[in-house]
Amino acid sequence: MIKKAAYPYLAWILIFTIVPLFLVLYFAFTIGDSQNFSTFSFSLDNFMKFFTPIYMSVLVKSINLALISTILCLIIGYPIAYIISREKPSKRNTMILMFVIPMWMNFLLRTYAWMTLLGRNGLINTIITKLGFSALDLMFNDTAVLLGMVYNFLPFMVLPIYSVLTKIDKGLLEASEDLGANIMTTFKKVIFPLS
């Protein structure tokens, strides 16, 4: 039985998750005028279009960028999470807060903030031109996309790793040291596999 307190949540899920998913499914299997729903008919043309070379190259490029940004987030995020997990609890909480605060701002606003920094008349190009160099093309390329993705998704890599690292039993680390393992061996044989 569903409690009355859950009704707003269920309405929210229905309106903003289930209905949009059904609309995507509907438009995937139909063709017609988007202004007039009566002209829609069942078709697999959208899927045939998807498998054309141009869309496949876009898909491959998207997967490639996603893979690179994930690897970059792991390379940057794991050491940060490890350093934070080794701090005293009071300092640790402050450091985690520094990661969480940017997530309070809208995702789109954070992305637009990068656009103002990297744009042709942005802060970085302004400094470069003041120093006498020519302006760089920092926008609308793979590097800018990777920079934005790593910036936006780094907290989602750091926080789960940090959570796991803080829960590792300290007795295992002490046992590793007692058995003669140095810091690097303890990390490779105990900490990294457990995290």
pLDDT of amino acid 59: 95
Question: What whole-number distance in Å separates Cα of residue 96 and Cα of residue 81?
Answer: 9
Mean pLDDT of 80-107: 90
Q: Say yes or no to pLDDT of 92 above 70.
A: yes
Q: Say yes or no to pLDDT of 1 above 90.
A: no
Mean pLDDT of 64-74: 97
pLDDT of amino acid 12: 93
Closest CA to 118 of 155, 148, 149: 148
pLDDT of amino acid 166: 92
What fold characterizes domain 52-194?
A: MetI-like fold (1.10.3720)
Q: Say yes or no to pLDDT of 25 above 80.
A: yes
pLDDT category at 4 given cuts 50, 70, 90 is confident
Sign of CA dihedral 174, 176, 181, 187: negative
Q: Say yes or no to pLDDT of 180 above 90.
A: no
Q: Check: CB of residue 165 under 8 Å from CB of residue 81.
A: yes
- Please provide the average confidence, as pLDDT, over all residues in the chain: 89
Question: What whole-number distance in Å separates Cα of residue 125 and Cα of residue 118?
Answer: 7
Question: What whole-number distance in Å separates Cα of residue 119 and Cα of residue 175?
Answer: 53
Query: How many degrees, rounded to 5, is the angle at CA 169 between CA 163 and CA 175?
Result: 145
The pair of structure tokens assigned to 63 is 């997967």
Q: Say yes or no to pLDDT of 34 above 80.
A: no
Give the helix/strand (H/E) hosting 42: strand 41-42
Query: How many degrees, rounded to 5, is the angle at CA 97 between CA 99 and CA 143?
Result: 10
Mean pLDDT of 128-144: 90
Nearest-Å Rg of the Cα atoms of the chain is 24
Closest CA to 81 of 195, 162, 156, 168: 162
Question: What whole-number distance in Å separates Cα of residue 195 and Cα of residue 192?
Answer: 5
Mean pLDDT of 63-72: 97
pLDDT category at 69 given cuts 50, 70, 90 is very high
Q: Say yes or no to pLDDT of 35 above 90.
A: no
Query: Which residues pair with residue 31 across a beta bridge?
Result: 41
Q: Say yes or no to pLDDT of 33 above 80.
A: no
User: What are the pLDDT digits (tens) for 106-130?
Assistant: 888 888 888 888 988 889 999 999 9
Give the helix/strand (H/E) hosting 137: none
The domain segmentation of the chain, as residue ranges, is 1-50, 52-194
